[in-house]
Amino acid sequence: MAQIPSRKCDACKGETIYTAKVYCEECEQSLCKGCNDFHDRFCKDHHVFDINKAGNRMFKAKPVCEFHKKKFLFFCSTCKCLTCDECMTSSHNGHTTDTIKKSVDAYRVNAKETNENLKAKVEIVQRTLETIKTKQTHQITSDFDSYIKKVEKTCRDIYGIVDHTKKIHMTAASDFQTNEKEDLDRKRVFFQRQYDESSGILLQIDNLLQESHDVTFFTEWKRLKTDVQNLTEIDQTLQNPKRIESFNEDNFMKTVMEDIDKRLTR
């Protein structure tokens, strides 16, 4: 507690004035030990306190009557308020009065009870705040994390189903493309061979037609005619390649939804 400078007794008379030890709020005086002993005989209801433990308390302005600016001396039991001497001869004339100390003591009891009740409420609120900060906040965060994980897992499952169905269709399309290209390559090789053989014989015939010697012509033509006959009879019409079946979005979605329904009914 803060210490205040030494004060002289306000009640000492004579040549020696002693150092004050206590302060009376009602008398608004600093009193030494001897004067306080005398003071206690006649003012037992006054409130005194140790100056060294008072701090700045004794220097605070004391409340006064707002109407007459005088010191409070009584408690009006009728109006439940503090009064000065002038109040008791005017607006509070004839009212029941009591000492300030006795009345305020009752209010102190009420204030103490209120303080205890409020303290209990503060403790409850404090525990509630701790619950909010720890348990409930953790619960919200935990629920959120769990929810997000389930959403992500469900999305992964759906993506997996979609990917699986996609792979089936992509594989079928890829196999179709591979088979049709292989068939087209076989046709290309076959027709290339036919082209090369026919072109070669055609060139020989063109040259033979320039031959003027009859025997030579006959002999060579007989050979070439056999070669022409040996050429494989082919269908000159080239058929178009097979067309892949158009992608059916509805069937794709239906397959995906059926797989999802199967997973949900497990």
| DSSP symbols for 119-176 | HHHHHHHHHHHHHIIIIIHHHHHHHHHHHHHHHHHHHHHHHHHHHHHHHHHHHHHHHH
Average pLDDT (223-240) is 76
Inform me whether the pLDDT recorded for 252 exceeds 90: yes
| Cβ atoms 252, 150 nearer than 8 A | no
Whose CA is closest to 232, among 181, 205, 193, 203? 193
Question: What pLDDT was estimated at residue 53?
Answer: 76
The pLDDT of residue 82 is 94
Give the pLDDT of residue 265. 79
Does a structural domain hold residue 15? Answer: yes
Q: How far apart are CA 142 and CA 149, in angstroms?
A: 11
Whole-number pLDDT of residue 27: 82
pLDDT the model gives residue 2 = 46
Query: Could you tell me if 51 and 58 are in contact, meaning their C-beta atoms sit under 8 angstroms apart?
Result: yes
For the chain, the domain total comes to 1
Query: Residue 30's domain spans which residues?
Result: 1-60
Asked if residue 258 has pLDDT above 80, the reply is yes
Mean pLDDT over the full length of the chain? 88
pTM above 0.75, yes or no: no
Distance CA 196, CA 218 (A): 24
Q: What pLDDT does residue 232 have?
A: 64
Strands 48-50 and 22-24: antiparallel
Task: Give CA angle at 242 (187, 166), nearest 5°.
Answer: 120
- Confidence band for 5, pLDDT divided at 50, 70 and 90: low
Q: What is the CATH number of the domain that holds 19?
A: 3.30.160
Q: Which residues of 94-112 are buried (b: 16+ CB within 10 A; e: fewer)?
A: eeebeebeebeeeeeeeee
What are the pLDDT digits (tens) for 143-197?
999 999 999 999 999 999 999 999 999 999 999 999 999 999 998 998 898 889 8
pLDDT (average), residues 91-116: 92
Instruction: Evaluate whether residue 192 is within a structural domain.
Output: no
User: Phi/psi of residue 265, each to 5°?
Assistant: -95, 10
